[in-house]
A = this chain, B = another copy of it.
């Protein structure tokens, strides 16, 4: 990459992060280019799709979250490990509004630039779920994809002005539904 291209690339990323933080994952691509001071074509050559841009934007955090899941596999309580990770996953998707919908469609589209990162994260979550199913109280009918769907659902709730204030409570509602055989949902709150 030529040095001016490198400069463009980095400035584009910094700007994109700010704009996406402000406007959400469906922010105008043109607006990002404009605010970065480059033509729209320059943005599109560096990031041929919105998914490609978001993959670059999110990959670091997605990998972090994947590693946290891996680390939690050796935590003493399988249930607590799952709930802790779930909490972090929901906190992550709430950073950028609209990102859960993008991630969901990336999962069903193998050609999306975001697909691999999302699928990797899902695998890591699936292992935590499996352990909680084996030695914990997690619902045995649930799949890793279901877990992702519920994370997405909580992300969606967080994106809605009318519901977002209640998202901590609704997290506990859903967490207690996953750990179906726990005595009370309040157990989930102690570990945060």
The residue from B105, B156, B170 contacting A156, defined by CB atoms under 8 A apart? B156
A91 to chain B, nearest CB (A): 17
How far apart are the CA atoms of A134 and B150 in the complex, in Å? 28
CB contacts (< 8 Å) of A95 on chain B: these are none
For residue A108, CB closer than 8 A to chain B, the reply is: yes
How far apart are the CA atoms of A105 and B101 in the complex, in Å? 17
CB contacts (< 8 Å) of A7 on chain B: these are none
- Is chain A's interface secondary structure helix, strand, loop, or mixed overall? helix
How far apart are the CA atoms of A108 and B159 in the complex, in Å? 12
For residue A27, CB closer than 8 A to chain B, the reply is: no
CB contacts (< 8 Å) of A71 on chain B: these are none
**Is there contact, CB below 8 Å, between B176 and A180?**
yes
CB contacts (< 8 Å) of A177 on chain B: these are 173-174, 176-177
How far apart are the CA atoms of A88 and B73 in the complex, in Å? 39
Assuming the A-B contacts A169-B141, A173-B177, A177-B177, are A153 and B146 also in contact, with contact meaning beta carbons closer than 8 angstroms in the complex?
no
Assuming the A-B contacts A180-B176, A180-B185, A185-B180, are A170 and B149 also in contact, with contact meaning beta carbons closer than 8 angstroms in the complex?
yes
**Is there contact, CB below 8 Å, between B104 and A139?**
no
How far apart are the CA atoms of A174 and B154 in the complex, in Å? 12
| Interchain Cβ contacts under 8 Å between A and B, 9 examples | A105-B162, A141-B169, A143-B166, A146-B170, A146-B173, A149-B157, A150-B173, A153-B156, A177-B177
Residues of A within 8 A of B (CB): 101, 104-105, 107-108, 139, 141-143, 145-146, 148-150, 152-154, 156-157, 160-163, 166, 169-170, 173-174, 176-178, 180, 185
Top 4 closest A-B pairs, CB basis?
A177-B177, A153-B153, A108-B162, A149-B163
